[in-house]
Amino acid sequence: YTILSKVHSDRNVYPSAGVLFVHVLEREYFKGEFPPYPKPGEISNDPITFNTNLMGYPDRPGWLRYIQRTPYSDGVLYGSPTVENVGKPTVIEITAYNRRTFETARHNLIINIMSAEVDFPLPYQAEFFIRNMNVEEMLASEVLGDFLGAVKNVWQPERLNAINITSALDRGGRVPLPINDMKEGVYVMVGADVPFSSCLREVENPQNQLRCSQEMEPVITCDKKFRTQFHIDWCKISLVDNTKQVSTFQEVIRGEGILPDGGEYKPPSDTLKSRDYYSDFLITLAVPSAIALVLFLILAYIMCCRREGVEKRNMQTPDIQLVHHSAIQKSTKELRDMSKNREMAWPLSTLPVFHPVTGEIVPPLHTDSYDNTSMPLMQTQQ
């Protein structure tokens, strides 16, 4: 892996394809680009942030990532170059922003990706998930060196390289709670030129697979060599053996779901005949409209022309039934008239006992025309 500790304008770097590339953007260097405005005797510690993009484009290449936790920490460019970009110089524009004075400074980083060696990419690759690290902590040269030393002690390869580092947040992980100094986790992929050791193969044991399915910690003999500094989730380790070439070609077996070969496609000619849509119009609009009109006329005839009036009803009704109906209507009208002219006082139980303003006891009074025999049983309460 490559660690560049200094940043200069128009700097050329030469990473190799398939090997981890790390470039540190140090705030101390960019502080010299901005004039100091603090009082004499004070140390300038301005918040500085960085923006990185491919020249002529708003974002970086797909293989290159950037991280900076706070404006008071250094920025880091990291990633694993691909073989497709070999021989193509990649110019990254680095813009530094002083958040106190709102001044900017721009530098260019020219990345010249070199072709990999003969034995690259390394055929045996293992990806570890480290739970107690963040990506910027893992990118530090001493921390990454300690991890590669622990892996080399367990694996015993002749050649070992860090291939890629990915934050757990980029793999769909959640942001940890800000308690107990929890970390987001980081995936580290390493490659070697020898087969996996027996210790790494222990993850594939049925007992450990069962423990992982039950969300239990698997039993790995070499875990103690990492536990002092790195907490590895052995259930998420991935072992890839690129020496086993798996053929992806599959013979097409004709059967259900596969159409027979119909020959070459023959598009329609450019000269299309004009089509008359008058008949389509009649079938779509005229015929339903005519049917609706006929139904409307039939309904209007039934509702208007076939209506039976009062005279026809009386002619078909017997005389005795009409007399009874007339007598009932006359009696009902007389009762309604009598109820309108009736004067009756309100019951004592519905009248107020206390004056609404003064609160004094007020006995309910009735007019002289009130019939005492119709008084309710409840009397005034003194």
For residue range 8-58, what is the model confidence (pLDDT) as tens digits? 457 888 888 888 899 988 888 887 778 766 666 566 688 899 999 999 888
Q: Which two tokens stand for residue 143?
A: 């921390």
**Range ranked top by mean pLDDT from 143-157, 231-245, 351-365:** 143-157
| Beta-carbon count within 10 A of 219 CB | 12
Q: Which two tokens stand for residue 141?
A: 């040269």
Q: Residue 356 pLDDT > 70, yes or no?
A: no
- Please tell me the least confidently modeled range out of 195-199, 205-209, 377-381: 377-381
pLDDT score, position 382: 46
How does residue 355 score in pLDDT terms, banded at 50, 70 and 90? Answer: low
Domain identity same for 91 and 151: no
The whole-chain average pLDDT of the chain stands at: 79
Q: What's the one-letter identity of residue 205?
A: N
pLDDT score, position 254: 55
Domain identity same for 15 and 99: yes
Q: Residue 6 pLDDT > 70, yes or no?
A: no
pLDDT score, position 261: 67
Beta bridge partners of 164: 189
pLDDT score, position 221: 87
Q: Residue 353 pLDDT > 50, yes or no?
A: yes
How does residue 177 score in pLDDT terms, banded at 50, 70 and 90? Answer: confident
Q: Residue 230 pLDDT > 70, yes or no?
A: yes
Which of 185, 220, 241 is where one domain is finished?
241
Domain identity same for 200 and 155: yes
Q: What's the one-letter identity of residue 172?
A: G
**Range ranked top by mean pLDDT from 109-123, 146-160, 166-180, 339-353:** 146-160
Q: Residue 334 pLDDT > 60, yes or no?
A: yes
Domain identity same for 227 and 131: yes
- Give the rounded distance of the alpha carbon of 375 from its chain centre: 78
| pLDDT tens digits for range 278-299 | 888 888 888 899 999 999 999 9
303 lies in some domain: no
Domain identity same for 129 and 230: yes
Across 302-330, average pLDDT: 81
Q: What's the one-letter identity of residue 215?
A: E
Those residues with Cβ within 8 angstroms of residue 94's Cβ, 6 or more apart along the chain or in another chain:
7, 25, 50, 51, 52, 106, 107, 108, 109
321 lies in some domain: no
**CATH no. for residue 193?**
3.30.70
Helices (H) and strands (E) in the chain, counts: 10, 12
Which of 148 and 305 is assigned the larger pLDDT?
148
Domain identity same for 203 and 102: no
Which of 241, 271, 298 is where one domain is finished?
241
pLDDT score, position 258: 60
pLDDT score, position 248: 47
Q: What's the one-letter identity of residue 367?
A: T
Q: Residue 3 pLDDT > 70, yes or no?
A: no
Q: Which two tokens stand for residue 157?
A: 């390869």
Cβ-contact 161, 152 below 8 angstroms: no
How does residue 265 score in pLDDT terms, banded at 50, 70 and 90? Answer: confident
221 lies in some domain: yes
**What pTM does this model have?**
0.58
In total, the chain counts a number of residues equal to 382
Domain identity same for 69 and 136: no
Sequential DSSP letters for 261-319: P--S--PPPS-PPP---HHHHIIIIIHHHHHHHHHHHHHHIIIIIT---HHHHHHHS-H
How does residue 120 score in pLDDT terms, banded at 50, 70 and 90? Answer: low
> Domain span at residue 195?
124-241
How far is it, in rounded angstroms, from Cα 50 to Cα 67? 9
R_g of the chain, CA atoms, integer Å: 47
Give the chain's domain count: 2
Those residues with Cβ within 8 angstroms of residue 262's Cβ, 6 or more apart along the chain or in another chain:
none
| pLDDT tens digits for range 73-102 | 999 999 888 888 788 888 999 999 988 888
Those residues with Cβ within 8 angstroms of residue 381's Cβ, 6 or more apart along the chain or in another chain:
353
